[in-house]
Amino acid sequence: MSQNKVIIVGAGAAGMTAAIFAAREGAQVVLLEHKDRVGKKILSTGNGRCNLSNRLQEPFCYRSGQPDFPWKALGAFTLPMTLEYFEDLGVLTRERDGYLYPYSGQASAVLDALRLGLARESVQVVTECEVFSITPREDAKHRFEVKTSQGSFSSETLILACGSKAAPGTGSDGSGYKLAKRLGHHIIKPLPALVQLRCPEKFFKQLAGVRADASVILYSDGRKLAEDKGEVQLTDYGISGIPVFQVSRFAARALDEGRDVRAVLNFYPECPETETRRILKERSERLKERQVEDFFSGWIHKKLAALFLKQAGIRPDRTVGSLTEVQIQTLGDLLCRFEVSVNGTNSFEQAQICCGGVDVREVDAQTMESKKVKGLYFAGEILDVDGICGGYNLQWAWSSGAAAGKCAGRESDK
């Protein structure tokens, strides 16, 4: 049996960071990864450029069943500390509208730097290593026995950084939840987040491919859940795009609880609704000689305009001047309050992240140590923390990984 001071299960962004910081504390570290190589998911982040963090750091950028938890944890390893960490690894960064990327623009550069960091700190990396069981023991020097496809390991402290269920092709298969549950932790049901929303309306097939600036407001049983705005993509199955991703975790949770969910889109979010309706009325007077099918030409996408007319029951060959006040008002309703049903999300395969995971009420926010099992730590996506789009989920990986690694490394040295 191989004896180590710190065992880390999962060699993603959080696991590698935890390994580096634990080793810097003087601990002997072994990093177990069930895929054939480490950090596979990093390569797909930021469209291959690795959006590794963001200048804007506020509590609303992180979500959890316990909203204060992520912010407390991030206070222990801040953005400036993160940038210093990467500079020490040889990664220089550049900023684009607050988004932070490696200067080279390559996600592979970040992964290479982390791999070199592991080698520099003499971390033992074991790939193609499936963990079968983790057994806590009474022996204070070797609290954990880990049985794997590559043999058994024992350690004084152990970090679970196994990821979530999102993007399982990269290694996040949800196996970490089972390990945590067997160790006595409660798992909040993981659901897809930062994911597309599915809508049952048949007209979406004719809208497929439309992109439009819009605001998206989610409602459940008449109560507002969340909102965001930006470029929305209409697909043959529903709605996609960054603003949809940002609100998707709320839809997923409400749907899982059996609640009704609806999305209201405003296709002209630049103006208050009253101003939009004034513009619409003025436009109807200015363009009264036009045919109705050209009324929205130069304003919104033709496919949307055609759908609005169909929904309003207006023949496209009429002149704009023949529209009644009620019909103009109906077009305003469709433009500003286009309501659709939401009956699902896309699967974990399409999701960037999960909401849910290890209940953070059972984890110390400063150290990432379990409140149930001494010497057990958590880091990254396995926890019930998810960030919005823009580098926040990687920032969570760096911050939680650093905290867990430091504390596990120090604990093992006592």
Query: What is the domain partition of the chain in residue ranges?
Result: 2-191+356-412, 196-345
Residue 279: Cβ within 10 Å count: 15
Q: How far apart are the first and last CA of the chain?
A: 22
pLDDT for the residue 413: 62
- State the pTM of this model: 0.95
Residue 361 bridge partners (DSSP): none
Regions of the chain with pLDDT less than 50: none
Identify whether the C-beta of residue 232 lies closer than 8 Å to the C-beta of residue 213: yes
Residue 174: Cβ within 10 Å count: 18
Cα–Cα distances (Å) from 194 to 164, 245, 300, in that order, read 13, 4, 26
Q: Tokens 């909102």, residue?
A: 227
Which CATH class name applies to 196-345?
mainly alpha
The whole-angstrom separation of Cα 397 and Cα 380 is 4
CATH superfamily of 2-191+356-412: FAD/NAD(P)-binding domain (3.50.50.60)
Identify whether the C-beta of residue 71 lies closer than 8 Å to the C-beta of residue 62: yes
**Among candidates 168, 208, 121, 204, which has minimal Cα distance to 354?**
168
139-179 per-position pLDDT tens digit: 667 799 999 999 999 999 999 999 999 999 888 899 999 99
Burial of 82: CB neighbours in 10 Å, binned 0-12, 13-18, 19+ = buried
Residue 383 bridge partners (DSSP): 358
Four-residue CA torsion sign, 329, 224, 339, 63 = positive
Mean pLDDT of the chain: 96
pLDDT for the residue 103: 97
pLDDT for the residue 1: 57
pLDDT for the residue 414: 58
The whole-angstrom separation of Cα 198 and Cα 156 is 46
Identify whether the C-beta of residue 188 lies closer than 8 Å to the C-beta of residue 214: no
